[in-house]
Structure formats: structure tokens, C-alpha cells
Amino acid sequence: MSGIVFDPDARAEFLATVEYYEECRKGLGRRFREAVETELDHILHMPFRFRILRPPFRRCLVPQFPYSIFFSIEPAFILVISVAHAKRKPGYWHDRIQKDR
């Protein structure tokens, strides 16, 4: 497997969250980014350990932050479809599935 690929909307929401946390408190955006990057490394090396929520998408919780990473295991890469806040409308990212498939 060659790596992690972000859906463009997932990348945008991830970067916006990093910026938001950094504006809230200096260094918090960096901590969020590092927490997500650590989980992406876990996903890359052990993707099947994460629970399937809606086939083929799995969920990885981000420790110390109310966020989840939703992803699918593709033949050549891991596709991140969303970096979602736990309190955001559940499944808002389902519309992205159709455009990516």
C-alpha cells in the first residue's frame, strides 16, 4: 500500500480544524495535527483493526479530541473521506462517497 490519500473536502476540513484550534489557543492546532498524523500512521500500518461503520468505510477515533477519521481501504492506498467532529451531523460526509466511487 502506497499511502494515505485525502478526499479534497476531507483535507479542507482537517486544515480548517487545525487553523481553528490554533486560533483558540497557540499550539493546540499543532497538537491536533500531530494527533491526526499519529492515527493516520496507525491506519496505514493496521487498517483492518478499525471498526467498519458503513461498508466500506471504517472509523478511527482521534485521542484527546472529539474527532473521527473515516476512511476506506483501497487496493493501492487508504482513502480518507472525512475528519469529522463528533457533534457534527452524523453521516454528513456520505455525499462524498458517491463522487469518489
- Per-domain boundaries in the chain: 4-100
Instruction: Taking each helix axis as running N to C, give the angle between helix 28-45 and helix 8-24, from 0 to 180 degrees, rounded to the nearest 10.
Output: 140
What is the arithmetic mean of pLDDT over 52-75?
A: 94
Average confidence (pLDDT) over 87-99: 66
- pLDDT band of residue 2 (cuts 50, 70, 90) is confident
d(CA 97, CA 7): 10
Distance between CA atoms of 64 and 69, rounded to whole angstroms?
13
pLDDT in tens, 12-30: 999 999 999 999 999 999 9
Confidence class for position 1, pLDDT limits 50, 70, 90? low
* Whether pTM exceeds 0.85: yes
In this prediction, residue 70 has a pLDDT band, given cuts at 50, 70 and 90, of: very high
CATH numeric code, 4-100: 3.30.2310.20
Asked if 58 and 74 count as a contact pair (C-beta separation under 8 A), the reply is no
Cβ–Cβ under 8 Å, residues 83 and 4: no
Residues 29, 62: Cα–Cα separation, whole Å: 14
